[in-house]
Structure 1
Amino acid sequence: MGRPAGEGAAPASLLRLVQMLGLDPQESEQLAALVTPTPPLPTFTAIVRTQGHRPRSLLEAVGSLAAQTWTHFDMVVAVHEAPHVAARVESELNAAAGAAPADYRVLHVSEGGTRTKPLNAGLDAAEGDYVCFLDDDDLAEPNWLAVFAGGAADAPGQIIRARTARQPWLASDTGEPQTPAGPVEYVYPPTFDQLAHFSYSETPICSLALPRAALNSFGLRFDEELTVCEDWDLLVRASLVLGVHCVAEVTSLYRRSNGGNSEIKANRQYWHRNRTQVIEKIASQPFVLDGPSARRLADAHFDYGGGPSERLEHISTRDLLAALPGRLRARLAKSLRLR
């Protein structure tokens, strides 16, 4: 199998720092996880998160995994609901002959806790070299795992990031996608911008394959106190340690429903509270930036006076306009369409 085209593999930030200090990564279990060679045929555990309330779209998500061209994987369906719901999901998957991958397990995740809980339960049950994720309303393209495998060969030990397309869908009362409500959109960039991710996420969870040994070595898990933003939070924390290797191929579809996605259902104030928690966690600890990111910070042009030059220039322009005679200021404002 040929490897997908992607960016050149940049070493993880922490590994680069270790090399600069002249340390031997093999002296530490955590550091050794960063340089462990990827097996010739890496295995994956695909974790599908569900509450069991969207049976049709769950079968569609599972069916997209059954169609994968890369066959070295198992699937864990993490059902975060009452035991009878998990039993029903397992029965439906067993009845859908050929619709599910050959190797799959249904994992009952006890009720309570946040929507993050089944992700950690799936991580704890995973056995593959890499873990990747689908929500029950996402769809994987047939090349989803094959692209991750190619990226893993190019950048062992790093997070592998592919592209996800997005499409608006009309949803049922339970949030299950029913029919497309618009064209497929390519809103997520092909490259990973570390500085941008300090402010917001540009990477849906189905875009990622995470090296399981490295996650375990560094104790990296989803924060179960978060009700949203949990994937963004883990990605930022893990990327600072492991680095991110990008492959520009589109490998999954995020079906953004008009009533069922977390960012729509969550109270806006609650959403911003979670976002603030993530940013505070980033700000609470030191981290290592790569060269390009450091140069971007150096080019931010902060001036004396405590603010960016663009803001200061805006204030200066406003003060200059205010000093003009009234009639001239009104004519200038009208010609420039200024308020």
Structure 2
Amino acid sequence: MSNAYDHPYESGTVYSRVVELLHVHAGTGGVHLDIGCGYGPIAEPVRETGLTYVGLDLDGTRLQALDERGFETHAIDLLDEHAAIATLRAALGDRTLASISMIDTLEHITNGPQFLNALRNFAENRAALFVIAVPNVAHRDLGAKLLAGRWDYTVEGLLDHTHVIHHTDRLLNAMMSSAGWTEVARADFQRQRSDQYFPRFDPLVSDATPLNRYLSQIREAADDFSSINELVRAYLPGPRKVAPLVVEPVEERPFLSIVMRTQGRRLASFRDLLLALTAQTSRDFELIVIPHRVEFELQKRIERIVEDMPEAIRNRSRIVPCDRGGRTTPLNFGFELARGHYITILDDDEMIFAHWVETFQKMAEKSPGRMLRTVAVEQDIAETADTAAGGKGYAVVGAIRHPFPGTYDFYAHLHQNYSPPVAMSFPRAVFHELGLRFDESLNTAEDWDFELRCLFMCGVEASPEITCIYHKWKKGESSYSIHSQSDWERDYHMILAKIDRQYHVFPPGTIKLINDQRKWIIKLENDIAYMSRTKSAKRSVLELLHRHPALLTFASRSNKVARQIGRGIVRRLR
């Protein structure tokens, strides 16, 4: 047990990552203080860089081993930060301090924030580089095992039995920022399989199982640290930043963030939409207007319209230009800025009713964390002459239609999007915590793609309430007129192929649906095979339609569809 931490220095280890950071950023002259040095695995490599290595630890056996190798050592007790800093000053003397390291040490002390703060004061006037390495308990292996109630302490590793603090990237960032350390470089140590990859035949742990791959898929999308074994970072003394180490369970946020992208071409509809926001029965929202790649003068017009709105809207609005990317980029840009518990997309040519926000809010209270869907109606509009405020005006040129169903059919949405973005609202956490992003490689249907991926993770809470109008441009530029049918088809297949490559959780009732569909297909195929041997093609089609009325349901949608079905059956029979 006493030699548990006696590991040799080797390339491709945490130790070599620390030395790499020192070699690049610490220079070649002065003293290096290795706090919590243990047996000093980095002593010789640090000396080879030109630095004078000094080891500090509380364990006398380890210090003696370093002494015997010819290195200077000092005993230090980190649990008393004032005494520890005095020890560091005495050990350094009047020599120049070049750098400091703490490898697998911070997690062993309960006064880490206080010690880091005192160490920053000690290093402030010396501009010393500080390299730290701590285990990352956000490794996916630990998360998978914790689902089954396993938190296995070991002699060494991610869950060393002597650890008193368990670090993640977020916690380490908060601790270092609060203490006044500014990150300048990182060389995190990655291991796809950590020392916690056991028992290897457990379906939660084994990376050969669908269960583990599904969990890993979620974890890997959330951030870049799912396979990081140790966080290895380099810092310099800097300003202290307020970064709370303790999280409040209740966050002070608006309920809804409304992301509105605009190119400033339809300022009349933009103004009307802002007026509709002033009439909302719930004002628990913020508005993020994103002028996308617009000229300066046009941006000023957008800003002027917002400034002319009542105070209730002005105070809830931010205008943040985005000067890059295609039509999807402003969505990622806006979602990143969003502070609300939920986020929705509101294009500048749509219209909402007064209870739009309130309806989302009631649904979220009923089913928190689920994707929210109301019902939109559709109406044709057309561009008119330029308005006094600039840009084209618009006029209604058609009656209200109801093409979007009042219920949300999970499986129908895998085939086609029946829910325009104005009728949808997404939990903020899917973007900010789970890493879901709009696919910027898509030119069309980016909202449908995002909706489907959110649907599989969150499910949906649907309301039959009509809350908005989806405007369809009969005259004027729109995504339908800009992009060809081949563009839409290409993106459609890309979206489905991407989703099909992933693991998913389907809602209850899926197995019955699959079985029912499979039985119907088998019966249809058997009937076609039988009739092709015994009857004429024309008579067979009639009998098939009689035996399988579902075909009539499909055919009733249009004469074109009916003809296609009939021809397809005839081809099979021939």
CA distance in 2, matches of 1:192, 1:121: 28
CA distance in 2, matches of 1:184, 1:319: 51
Residue 128 (1) aligns with residue 345 (2): no
CA distance in 2, matches of 1:100, 1:302: 56
> Residue 38 and residue 57 in structure 1: after superposition, are their counterparts in 2 closer, same or farther (change >3 A)?
farther
The runs of 5 or more residues in structure 2 that have no matched partner are: 1-143, 151-167, 171-217, 223-247, 544-562, 568-574
CA distance in 2, matches of 1:209, 1:319: 54
> Residue 39 and residue 179 in structure 1: after superposition, are their counterparts in 2 closer, same or farther (change >3 A)?
same
Residue 181 (1) aligns with residue 394 (2): no
CA distance in 2, matches of 1:163, 1:296: 25
% identity of equivalent residues: 27
CA distance in 2, matches of 1:182, 1:89: 28
Match among 230, 236, 261 for residue 478 of structure 2: 261
CA distance in 1, matches of 2:352, 2:270: 12
Cα root mean square deviation, aligned: 3.5
Alignment-derived partner of residue 158 in structure 1 = 370
Secondary structure at the aligned position of 1:123 is classed as helix
Q: Deviations over 1:116-162 (max 9, x none)?
A: 11111110111111111111111111100100000000001111111
CA distance in 2, matches of 1:189, 1:177: 30
Alignment-derived partner of residue 48 in structure 1 = 260
Alignment-derived partner of residue 213 in structure 1 = 429
Code of the aligned partner of 1:252: C
1:302 to partner: Cα distance: 5.0
> Residue 41 and residue 217 in structure 1: after superposition, are their counterparts in 2 closer, same or farther (change >3 A)?
closer
Residue 283 (1) aligns with residue 500 (2): yes
Alignment-derived partner of residue 322 in structure 1 = 536
Match among 463, 467, 491 for residue 247 of structure 1: 463
1:214 to partner: Cα distance: 3.4
Code of the aligned partner of 2:326: T
Secondary structure at the aligned position of 1:300 is classed as helix
1:171 to partner: Cα distance: 2.8
Q: Deviations over 1:77-135 (max 9, x none)?
A: 11112351323311232135569453101110114x22111111110111111111111
TM-score normalised according to structure 1 size: 0.78
Code of the aligned partner of 1:256: K
Q: Deviations over 1:216-260 (max 9, x none)?
A: 111011111111100000010011011111111011100111143
Alignment-derived partner of residue 69 in structure 1 = 281
Code of the aligned partner of 2:395: T
Residue 169 (1) aligns with residue 385 (2): no
Code of the aligned partner of 1:218: L
> Residue 194 and residue 55 in structure 1: after superposition, are their counterparts in 2 closer, same or farther (change >3 A)?
same
CA distance in 2, matches of 1:118, 1:276: 23
CA distance in 2, matches of 1:318, 1:99: 71
Secondary structure at the aligned position of 1:189 is classed as coil
1:308 to partner: Cα distance: 5.6
**Conservation of the 8 A alpha-carbon contact between 1:62 and 1:99:** no
**Conservation of the 8 A alpha-carbon contact between 2:379 and 2:396:** yes
CA distance in 2, matches of 1:45, 1:216: 13
TM-score normalised according to structure 2 size: 0.47
**Runs of 4+ residues deviating >6 angstroms:** 28-31, 36-41
Alignment-derived partner of residue 300 in structure 1 = 517
The runs of 5 or more residues in structure 1 that have no matched partner are: 1-17
Alignment-derived partner of residue 446 in structure 2 = 230
CA distance in 2, matches of 1:311, 1:61: 53
Match among 87, 90, 105 for residue 300 of structure 2: 87
Alignment-derived partner of residue 148 in structure 1 = 360
CA distance in 1, matches of 2:533, 2:380: 45
